[in-house]
Structure 1
Amino acid sequence: MLGNFSYCNPTKLHFGPEALDALAGELAHYGKRVQLIYGGGSIKKNGIYDQVVSILKAAGKEIFEDPGVMPNPTTEKLYEGCKIARENNVDLLLAVGGGSCCDYAKGVSVSAWCDEDPWEKYYVRMEEPANRLIPVGCVLTMVGTGSEMNGGSVITNHATKQKIGHVFGEEVFPKFSILNPKYTYTLPKYQMVAGIYDIMNHITEQYFSGEDDCTSDYLMEGLMRSLLHSSRIAVKDPENYEARSNLMWIATWALNTLVAQGKDTDWMVHMIGQSVGAYTDATHGMTLSAVSLPYYRYVMPYGLHQFKKFAVNVWGVRPEGKTDEAIAQEGLAAMEDWMKEMGLVLHLAELGVTEDMLDGIAKGSFIMEGGYKVLTHQEIVDILRQSL
C-alpha cells in the first residue's frame, strides 16, 4: 500500500433485530432536548416512529419534530431544520430514516450555530466547521449511502441547480447508529435496488484508482462479491433476513472510510450523478447507474490493469486466451447484465434528462483527479450523451 494515512471511525454501531434496545442507553449520554428528524411518514406506517417516540419519552426527553426530509434534502429544508435546532437549543439530532435523513442531520449539526450562510460556507467554499456542533444519532431504515458511519452530507440547491456533498471530519460522524435489517423490509423495490447500486458504486469509486498491490482492493472485491450474491436473493425475496442483513452491513463498510485507506479514489460518477440529480431530483442510485457504464468504458483504457482485476476477481471472467482489454470489457458486460437483472436505470432519458440539459449538468459536475483520467468539460458532455 502506498502513502501515509491516519484512520479513525468514532461511530458506535448497534446491529441486529434487537438493535433499537440500545437507544435508551445511548440517549443517556445527551441532554433532554431531542430534534426528531424523519422523512415522508413511512416510519409512522410501519411502527418505527411509535417505537422511537416511546423510548424517547421513557428516557424523559423533550421531542422537537422535524419531519418532511425529502430524498434530496434542499437548502430550504436545511435552513428550516437549523431554525428548529437553534430556537429549541436541542442537545441531540436523532435521524430516523435513510441516508437523506442522516445526511440532513449532519448538515443541521454543522449549520445550526453557523454565523454565516451554511450553503456558501460548507457546500460552496468547502470550509470546515469552527462553530458549535450538535451531536447526531441515526436509526437506519434504508441502506445504500453509508451515511450512518461517515461524515458525508449532501444538500441540493434548486436555485443554483447544484447538488453538493461535503465530507466532514470525524467530529461530525454520527455518535451512534442503530441498524436493524428488518426495518428495510417494507422499502419499495425501486428504492431497494437504487440503494444496492449506490453501495456498488461507492465501492467502485474507491476501487478504480491506484496501481499498487493494495489490501483495500482485496477488501472491496470481497464486499462486491457479497453484494452480488445478496442482491440477487433480496430482489426475489425482500424479507430474507440473511440477504438484507448482509446488504446493510456491506453498505456501511463500503463508505465508512475503511476501504479508502491507501487509495486515491475517483468519485467522478458521483459528481456527474449528483449534478443530474440537481436537474431532475431523480433517485440518487439511479442517477449513478445511468452514467456508470459509459464512464467506465471511457476510462477503462487508462486503468486497464484494474478493470482486468475487476473482471476476474469480482465477475469470475476466465482470462485464458484473451487480451487484457477483452477481459476488462467482458467484466463490464457482466456488470451490465447484473444491472439489468436488478432493474436499474441505464439511460438518463428515463430520469427526464434531455439533450439541452447536458451542458449544464456537465458544468455542475465537479472535476475529480483521483481516478484514471481527469475529464474535460467536453468529455463529460460526451459521456452524458452516451448515457442518454
Structure 2
Amino acid sequence: MLGNFTYCNPTRLYFGEDALENLGAELAKYGKNVLLVYGGGSIKKSGLYGQVTAILADCGKEVCEVPGVMPNPTVDKLYEGCRTARENRVDFILAVGGGSVCDYAKAVSVSAWCEEDPWDKYFLRMEDVDNRIIPVGCVLTMAGTGSEMNGGSVITNHASRLKIGHVFGDNVFPKFSILNPKLTYTLPKYQMAAGIYDIFNHITEQYFSGTDDNTSDYLAEGLMKSLIHSSRIAVQNPQDYEARSNIMWTAAWALNTLIAQGKRTDWMVHMIGQSVGAYTDATHGMTLSAVSMAYYRALLPHGLDKFRRFAVNVWGVDPAGGPAVEVAAEGLKRMEAWMRELGLVMNLRELGVTEDMLEGIADGVFPMDGGYKALSREEIVQLLRESL
C-alpha cells in the first residue's frame, strides 16, 4: 500500500432484526429537542413511524418534523429543514428512511447554524464546517448509498441544474445507525436494484485506480462477489433475509471510507450520473448504470491490468482464455449481463435524456483525475452520446 493515512469511523451500527431496540438508549445521550426527518410517507404505511415516535415519546423528547424529503433532496428543502431546526432549537436530528433522507439530515446538521448560504459555502466552495453541527442518527430503510456510515451529503439545485455531493469529515458522520434488513422488504424491486448497483459502483469507483498491491482492493473484490451473489437471490426472492442482510452490510462497508485507504479513487461515473440526475431527477443508481458500461469500456485500455484482475477475481473469467485485453473485455461483458439480469437501466434515453441535453449535462460534470484517465469535456460528451 502506498501513502500515509489515518482511519477513523465513529458511527456505531446496530444490525439485525432487533436493532431498533437500541434507539432509546442512543436518544438518551442527546438533548430534548429532536428533529425527525423522513420521506414520502412509506414509513407510516409500514408502521415504522409509529414505532419510532413511540420511542421518542418514551424518551421524553420534544419532536418537530420535516416530512417529504425527496429522493434527490433539493436546496429549497434544505433551507426548510434549516429553518425548522433553528426555530425549534434542535439538539438532535433523527433520519428515518433511505440514503437521501440520511444525506439530507447531514446537510441540515451542518447548515442550520451556518451564517451564510450553505449551498455556496458547502456545495459550491466545498469549505470545511466551522459552525455548530447538530448530531445525526439514522434508522435505515434502504440499502445503497452507504450514507448511514459516512460524511457524504448530496444536494440538488434545480435552478442551476447542479447536483453536488460534499464528503464531510468524521465530525459529520451519523453518531449511530440502526440497520434492520427487514425494513428494506417493502422497497419496490426497481429501487432495490438501483440501490444494489449504487453499492457496486461505490466499490468500483475505488477499485479502478492505482497499480500497487493494495489490501483495499482485495477487500473490494470480496465485497463485490458477495453483492453479486446476494443480489441474484434477492431479485428472485426480495424477502430472503440472508441475501438482504448481506446486501445491507455490504452497502455500509462499500462507502464507509475503509476500502479507500491507501488509494486514489475515481468517482467519474458518480460525477456524470449526478449531472444526469440534476437534469432528470432520475433514481440515482439508475443514472449510474446508464453510463457505466460506456465509461468502463473507455477506461479499460488505460487500466488493463486491473480490468483483467477484475474479470478473473470477481467474474470468474479464465485467465488463460486469451490476451489480457480479451479477458478484461469478457469481465465487462459478464458485468453487463448481471446488470441486465437485475433489471437496471442501461441507457440514458430511458431516463428521459435527449440529445439536446448532452452539452448541458457535460457542463455540470465535475472532472476528477483519480482514475486511470482524466476525461476532457469533449470525451464526456462523447461518452454521454454513446450512453443514449
| Fold in common (TM above 0.5) | yes
Q: How does 1:135-284 map to 2 (within 5 A)?
A: 135-284=135-284
- In the alignment, structure 1 residue 356 sits paired with structure 2 residue 356: yes
1:70-111 CA distances to partner (integer Å, 9 max, x unpaired)? 000000000000000000000100000000000000000000
Partner of 1:79: 79
State the partner residue of 1:310: 310
SS, match of residue 259 in structure 1 = helix
Q: Which runs of 5+ in 2 are unaligned?
A: none
Distance 1:223 1:319 in 2: 21
Question: What CA distance in whole angstroms lies between the structure 1 residues aligned with 2:11 and 2:80?
Answer: 26
| Whole-angstrom distance in 2 between the partners of 1:294 and 1:51 | 45
Q: Does 1:100 align with 2:97?
A: no
The TM-score with structure 2 as length reference comes to: 1.00
CA distance in 1, matches of 2:32, 2:145: 29
TM-score (normalizing by structure 1)? 1.00
Supply the distance in 1 between the matched residues of 2:366 and 2:314 (Cα, whole angstroms).
Answer: 29
Aligned mates of 1:131, 1:212 — CA distance in 2: 39
For 2:327, the equivalent position in structure 1 comes to: 327
Query: Are 1:114 and 2:128 matched, yes or no?
Result: no
| RMSD between aligned residues | 0.4
Residue type at the aligned position of 1:328? A
* Cα distance between partner residues in 2 of 1:170 and 1:321: 45
Match of 2:225, SS?
A: helix
What is the match of residue 369 of structure 2? 369
SS in 2 for 1:239: coil
SS in 2 for 1:164: strand
Q: Name the counterpart of 2:131.
A: 131
How far the C-alpha of 1:365 sits from its partner, in A, is 0.4
Structure 1 residue 329 displacement after superposition: 0.3
C-alpha distance in structure 2 between counterparts of 1:233 and 1:299, whole Å: 30
What's 1:285 paired with? Answer: 285
Give the SS at the match of 1:153.
strand
- How far residue 319 of structure 1 moved from its aligned partner, in angstroms, is 1.6
Tell me the equivalent position of 2:300: 300
Show the counterpart of 1:347. Answer: 347
Question: Residues 224 and 321 from structure 1, CA distance in 2 versus in 1: closer, same or farther, beyond 3 angstroms?
Answer: closer
User: C-alpha deviations, 1:284-319, integer Å up to 9, x for none?
Assistant: 000000000000000110000000000000000002
Gaps of 5+ in 1: none
Equivalent residue letter for 2:282: A
Report the Cα distance in structure 2 between the residues aligned to 1:169 and 1:332, rounded to whole angstroms. Answer: 34
Query: What whole-Å deviation, never above 9, does each CA across 1:35-93 have from its counterpart, x for those lacking one?
Result: 00000000000000000000000000011011000000000000000000000000100
1:321 deviates by 4.2
1:43-82 pair list within 5 angstroms = 43-82=43-82
- Runs of 4+ residues deviating >6 angstroms: none
Offset at residue 186 of structure 1 (A): 0.3
Contact 2:210–2:263 under 8 Å retained in 1: yes
Q: How many residues align?
A: 388
